[in-house]
Chains A and B, each alone.
Chain A
């Protein structure tokens, strides 16, 4: 018996009531229960029982609505009470709708740029906060503050800031001799503004996640690096970033999902304009589901397609991340 086995066995003996067979765990009332009930009361099944409350809520409020959403996508309804079966007509209409194509393109541009930039910036921010010795608590709070501000407020404030005629950004640019820019009137600039707003809002949150990852890297690795003559950048490249990769993957997955789900601050900032230049897929769904004329079937079909895209993107992220980890 090894030392570890001996310690584990000792702990097992301490925890296990007398008379219980060590290979089967604690099975109360075993002698009175039929075989299936014995399985139900087994220790191996206990974790699943603990999951039941959460799975019930998840099932009722997420899985069932998702299934129902798919069902509604096969119907036409303008009031949510009367439904007419139309088969795949809603999908055909959406996929032949030029506006949907534009929306998907906008969403992909937004998500890709947002994820790349927010990941890089939050990593830099986390490294700076990790290196900060004085006032790091206050700085963390400051960077995290936008996360707790209502997204609607974020959208409204950024909208005021970037309005061409009266916005503070153009006023400042004017002061330094740069002419006013058409921030919310030019599609590319408006896309830049909503990406900047998204990054400003979320970078503190992702930086906190990465900071936790940084704190978990053993210090002796850095000491060994220093002894071996590695400079700061080398230590970051050879020690920090590789060991931070699992946490970075979490950030990438979370920011990808957040990017696809972006709506509230974008809607209040640009309303999806100018002329649809910043209309993302959630707004497209929202407008079909909740703005007159209401088309629940179309909205649900768009929702199903949206789910497929997000699922595929998340899966791709996950698979690529796992492959890199394995390497």
Chain B
């Protein structure tokens, strides 16, 4: 037992986030921490990392009771943390980022640049990342490489405990594999690892033990060998989920959207495909493969620079989102906060944003109609909220996503583009969003779904398109879309050539 938490309780403004949780981690093990959003995972790791002080309970490190006043105290006790949102400086070099605030010194306090660079190289090498240039500007690196830098930074102080908060949230395919290899390597070195993730498959591949939190309480701690996926899910959500991918058979109708040789600058190149009514077309690929760019082009946010688009057989030019909307296309964006929602507004205001003209009489918004639509959205999508007047920023991620969906389905689209429809939302909400998608397809909507989660792509799609460096490199029918085939197409000649 290197770190042990006993009966930790913490509340924020009277709302309990943790209610007496026990947790421990041993040297040379990966202990996964699992739970839905709001279950208390972040609070627990922030207490372990010294960023929060518990209201009650004790923290023990190597048999000694400690009280961390700051993250610095925790680091000195050998506990390092890699947070989900990388805390790095884009204008500094890789080496500078790794040793920020902790640089090797010469006499009189001058930074010893030579030692710093060679130690940085060594650290990255120990993560099997020899090719990364320690003098590269951090801002020029890919997300995956930035994360390696963050891990190297955490390792620079030789921690005995490493906390990793959703390290694979923004990675896909080969980068996930590589990260897991790094975690295994660290475990072999005897580092104790606390691993937070939403992805159950990683937990089964990587973890030795798993602790499930729900509503601030510990539901169970088990050896991973003793549990299976349905068991973990029902522990997390407190009920059993029949099906994570409730895909229904549909009879596809005529083509709804046809794209021929579509290009946008050099990020979308010569893309051709078609989607039929009632069909779900999944688009797989690594981050940066051009999938989101394709969606933005289809929706007119970045209008196409070449190629043809046909909607229900009619050739069209989509020069802006307004035009796309009028053609019956809806877009549920990747980043809810950036393009999806107006967080300072209410559910009512967000739900009617794309159809203001429809819910207005003359210049005046028909409030009764708005409230009716908002209430309907709340029941139809099972949005958990106090009512139509609740501010959207007060909702959880899954419920925010349902508001985005409700907003776009209010436009009565015939073609729905969804970019990472379930990113960052918990398992229960995920299954609900999938069920909604399946229902919509049955009603005859053509759905284009972009996802970095292979199980989601394979579970929900009628056909799968694989993109790589802006091009379509693979095309699979549902029957032939196996994880191996699609995964291989995604990673073939992966576009990882930068800063080296």
Is the A/B pair a real complex? no
Taking Cβ atoms with an 8 Å cutoff, the residues of B that contact A are: none
